[in-house]
Amino acid sequence: MTKRLRERYAQSIEQLARAETVIPLGSQTFSKSRTQYPVGAAPLFAERASGSHLWDVDGNEYVDLVSALGAVILGYADPDVDNAVRRQLRNGVTLSLATRLESEVAERIVELVPCAESVRFGKNDTDATSAAIRLASAFTGRDHVVALGYHGWQDWYIGLTTRDLGFPEAVKALTHRAPYNDLDVLQAVIAGLPDQVAAVIPEPMTSEWPVSGYLEGVRQLTSEQGIVLVFDEMLIGFRFAPGGAQEYFGVTPDLAAFGKALANGYPLSAIVGRADIMRLMEDVFLSSTFGGETLSLAAARAVLTRMATGEPTARLAKIGSQLMNAAQRSIDGYGASLVTLSGHPSWALLNWTLTDPDRLAEAKTLFLQEMLRHGVLVLGTHDITTAFTDADITAIESAYAHALTAVADGVASGDLRSRLECEPIRPLFTLR
């Protein structure tokens, strides 16, 4: 680690040592920890954020392309959202009875989301996806699940990955995976489990566009087989359209899980869907002291009011297109053989072409190191918000140019590792 970088991140390094004495990894979230941000070449602790910018504990300022892992969609400290929270704070946070806010927010979701006839709230993404799977099993009387994406940390999903320490083998055996955009494989997996599949749960899209007829085919197949179709819209919900990806693509699932952007960073998720399936919530056990916590619901009401106008999704598409074009110019000029960019303008992904695992880890870490050095907080995706400005896009394009030049030079010279001022970052997990 150079003296310059050591000084740039001195407070982060000091705080990590302190945090790890009482917190495993020093963070509550893998994606915010040293597993994803290299110690000594990256910030590890934030001090504050506003609009599209974040400041770390060392006082360094960044254009934030992570946006709280996509949980912020209107920008940090959005006035409408935060004022709604302040007003509610005077009336209490977690009360001894249900509140009218729960019904009001549920009604707004029902108005926006095509599949939503009924709603229940949770606090995080895994609450909602796991509730959907439990409901599907109760409704169908079946036990098996087919997963087509990433769906949280509960046993039923994460057992499919290499980070499966502590998960029962009996539970792992009930979840199966199929690749996105391959209807034939999905049909084969279901055929191998006749009358046993309770749910198929895809992310309707992340960085890969659905091929023509794919989502419609999944809808038809699940309907024919008596399988509950669950859309996991945690990542992209409210980014593509006010009613989510299901509105955008015109394919209506039986159930859907929303979170992240639902409350612009306040902790809230929702399981929504057909009334006949959701009615089983009266008997299926999903009960949480904080499910009706009012500050997050007040935030969600403010977010959904804005979403209903269509303005936020239109702005995300416009800003996202400008950013993708700017990033593509840097890729074309400095890294065309190394990376591609894919996805919807409101959420895009940087894809690396390197196949050697060691070189790939070194290239991705060097890219991260240099993007951070040039004032852009990034993990490899474009988690944009409506608060992004033209100046932000110009800054990101410049950082891309610097970072990709460093990586391209390192690949050409065969000395990627020597250019790193930290240890390479490795993938958190892989699918089995």
Residues with a catalytic annotation lie at 150, 232, 260
Instruction: Specify the 3-state DSSP secondary structure of 418.
Output: helix
DSSP secondary structure code for residue 24 in this structure: G
**Angle 382-397-32 from CA coordinates, rounded to 5°:** 40
For residues 72 and 259, give the distance between their C-alpha atoms in angstroms, rounded to a whole number.
11
Q: What's the rounded Cα separation, in Å, for the pair 223 and 229?
A: 8
Q: Are 360 and 331 in contact (CB under 8 A)?
A: no
CA dihedral defined by 26, 29, 34, 35, rounded to 10 degrees?
140
Q: What is the dihedral of CA 336, 342, 348, 353, to 10 degrees?
A: -50
Buried b (16+ CB within 10 A) or exposed e, 367-384: bbbbbbbbebbbbbbbbb
* Rounded distance between C-alpha atoms, residue 63 and residue 384, angstroms: 10
Q: How far apart are CA 261 and CA 275, in angstroms?
A: 24
- 382 contacts 347 by C-beta, under 8 angstroms: yes
Q: How far apart are alpha carbons 140 and 196 in whole angstroms?
A: 9
293 close to 92: Cβ distance less than 8 angstroms: no
* Helix ranges restricted to H, 168-286: 169-172, 183-191, 214-224, 245-249, 275-278
Q: Count Cβ atoms within 10 A of the Cβ of residue 78 and give its class: 0-12 exposed, 13-18 middle, 19 or more buried.
A: buried
To the nearest 10°, the Cα dihedral for 67, 259, 237, 302? -80
Using CA atoms, how far residue 309 sits from 112, 197, 302, 303, in Å, is 10, 38, 12, 10
Q: Which residue has the tokens 């940087």?
A: 350
Gap between the Cα atoms of 241 and 432, Å rounded: 33
